[in-house]
Amino acid sequence: MKLTINGEAREVDKVSTVGELLPALGLDARQVVVELNQAVIKRNDVDQTPIHENDCLEILRFVGGG
Partner 1 sequence: MTDCFNFTEEQIERYARHIILPEIGGKGQSRLLSSHVLIVGMGGLGSPVALYLTAAGVGHIGIVDSDQVDRTNLQRQVIHFTEDLGSGKLDSARRKMAAMNPEILVTPYPLRLNASNALDVLKDYDVIVDGTDNFPTRYLLNDACVFLKKPLVHAGVIRYEGQISVFKPGIGPCYRCIFPEPPPAGVIPSCREAGILGVIPGILGLLQANEVLKLLLGIGQPLVGHLLLVDALHTEFRKVQIRRNSGCAICGERPTITRLEDVVMETCELEEGGICFGNSTFENGVPPTPHG
Of residues 11 and 66, the one with the C-beta less far from partner 1: 66
Binding of partner 1 at residue 53 (CB under 8 A)? no
User: Binding residue for partner 1 (CB under 8 A) from 10, 14, 43, 52?
Assistant: 43
> Does residue 40 bind partner 1 (CB under 8 A)?
yes
**H-assigned helices in 7-49:** 18-24
Segment 6 to 35, residues that bind partner 1, using CB under 8 A: 6-7, 28, 30-31, 33
* Element at 35 (helix H, strand E): strand 32-36
Neighbours of 2 (CB within 10 A): 10
Please choose, out of 10-18, 19-27, 47-55, 56-64, the segment that lies near partner 1 by the rule CB under 8 A: 56-64
Inter-residue contact 27 to 59 (CB < 8 Å): yes
